[in-house]
Amino acid sequence: MKKYTYSAKSSDIAGRWWIVDAEGAILGRLASQVAARLRGKHNPLFTPHVDCGDSVIIVNADKIKLTGKKWEQKTYYRHSGYMGGIKSTTARKLMENKPEEVIRKAVRGMLPKNSMGRQMCKKLKVYTGKDHPHGAQQPEVLKF
């Protein structure tokens, strides 16, 4: 009998759609669970070099919580590429302007930093309200 480790192929993976309600959820705990779903770690056919994750829709992104003093102390940086072009934003200001970005940046930081991670990040859809345009995919509710 031949023994080998099974390696999943892209054709073996049937991606499912999940919907997550972020109302009252802690940002880091939500992001780690969503990143695991996007990566496919819940799947018994998980293979590290194959994108075997599912698509995730997050609604009510504007109602997440941060613990402690993170609203004022957590800082997001970006750089224009020019000398002295670093800019920073606190979590509170980013939440007022773009609440979806707070969740997107948290999940993106937990995915691999390569082309596969960028591909996985495209399967994350974040919305501020309860409405989303993905009803045709028949997403299943995911509770944490």
Say if 85 falls within a structural domain.
Answer: no
Say if 103 falls within a structural domain.
Answer: yes
- Of 13, 30, 10, 9, nearest to 107 (Cα)? 30
Over the stretch 14-54, which tens digit does the pLDDT of each residue have?
889 999 999 999 999 999 999 999 999 999 889 999 999 99
Say if 80 falls within a structural domain.
Answer: no
Say if 31 falls within a structural domain.
Answer: yes
pTM of the model as a whole: 0.91
Say if 49 falls within a structural domain.
Answer: yes
Over the stretch 59-87, which tens digit does the pLDDT of each residue have?
999 999 999 999 999 999 999 999 999 99
Name the packing angle between helices 99-108 and 27-39 (round to 10°): 60
Instruction: CATH number of the domain at 130, please.
Output: 3.90.1180.10
Phi-psi region of 111 (alpha: psi -120 to 50; beta: other; left: phi over 0): beta
CA 129 – CA 13 distance, rounded (Å):
30
Over the stretch 91-137, which tens digit does the pLDDT of each residue have?
999 999 999 999 999 999 999 999 999 999 999 999 999 999 999 99
Number of domains in the chain: 1
Give the containing element (helix H, strand E) for 50: none
CA 49 – CA 82 distance, rounded (Å):
35
